[in-house]
Amino acid sequence: MSGRKGPYECGLDAAVDVIGGKWKVLLLWALAQGPRRFGQLRRELPRISEKVLAQQLRELEADGIVHREVFDQVPPKVEYTLTGLGASLNDALAPLGDWGARTWPTWRPPTRSAIRTPCDQDAARSGRSVIRTPCDPGRDGRGQCPSAGSVAPCWTAQPFPSGSLK
């Protein structure tokens, strides 16, 4: 939460208050793939600090977007999942992601691997919004997989040619 809690000018103003910040939308996309532990989210978003990740998750939980489940076991286990409200917010954000994939090469050429892209470069060039694919050590941009047959985020080390995602 930004601490604001209304009154809002319109629905868009309220939505931006919930998802505002650099990392919340990316956290929503990561959680759309299923339950995640804190360490998994850190690996999927390597540029976020632990402090900021914890803060963003607390805010999303306070807004009813993310559910935090603490398991009664040793060592402690905590998982984060999207609530129904969070899943519906992700559905609303999908067109925004499609827009970004179609238009960012025209107004801000990519420089490096800061942009999360599909492992499937052909899918990326065709403009399909494929966020995650089964991990293949030869195509994940890093030459590694967490475990055989798992699904892993992919980051490209090379920028796409300008306009190639159209």
Q: In CATH, what number is assigned to the domain containing residue 5?
A: 1.10.10.10
Q: In the numeric block, which tokens belong to residue 68?
A: 């935090």
Q: Which of 81, 108, 135 is the last residue of a domain?
A: 108
Indicate whether 84 and 140 sit together in one domain: no
Q: In the numeric block, which tokens belong to residue 52?
A: 């900021």
Indicate whether 76 and 11 sit together in one domain: yes
The pairs formed by 141-150 with CB atoms below 8 angstroms and a separation of 24 or more are 141/113, 146/43
Burial 61-71 (b: 16+ CB within 10 A, else e): bebebbbeeee
Whole-prediction pTM: 0.62
Indicate whether 41 and 59 sit together in one domain: yes
Nearest Cα neighbor of 106 from 67, 162, 25 is 162
What residue numbers bound the domain in which 12 lies? 1-108
Indicate whether 150 and 70 sit together in one domain: no
Q: Is the pLDDT of residue 1 over 70?
A: no
Indicate whether 113 and 92 sit together in one domain: no
HEC profile for the chain? CCCCCCCCCCHHHHHHHHHCCCCHHHHHHHHCCCCECHHHHHHHCCCCCHHHHHHHHHHHHHCCCEEEEEECCCCCEEEEEECHHHHHHHHHHHHHHHHHHHHHHHHCCCCCCCCECCCCHHHHHHCCCCCEEECCCCCCCCCCCCCCCCEEECECCCCCCCCCCC
Per-residue pLDDT band for 108 (boundaries 50, 70, 90) equals low
Q: How many domains does the chain have?
A: 2
Indicate whether 10 and 46 sit together in one domain: yes
Q: In the numeric block, which tokens belong to residue 91?
A: 């559905």
Indicate whether 61 and 120 sit together in one domain: no
Q: Which of 93, 108, 123 is the last residue of a domain?
A: 108
Indicate whether 96 and 72 sit together in one domain: yes
Indicate whether 122 and 69 sit together in one domain: no
Indicate whether 84 and 141 sit together in one domain: no
**Average pLDDT over the chain, rounded to an integer:** 73
Indicate whether 33 and 67 sit together in one domain: yes
pLDDT in tens, 128-157: 443 443 444 444 444 444 444 433 344 333
Q: Which of 108, 138, 155 is the last residue of a domain?
A: 108
pLDDT in tens, 48-67: 999 999 999 999 999 999 99
Indicate whether 4 and 81 sit together in one domain: yes
Euclidean distance between CA atoms 116 and 67, whole angstroms? 24
Q: Which residue has the tokens 């976020």?
A: 48
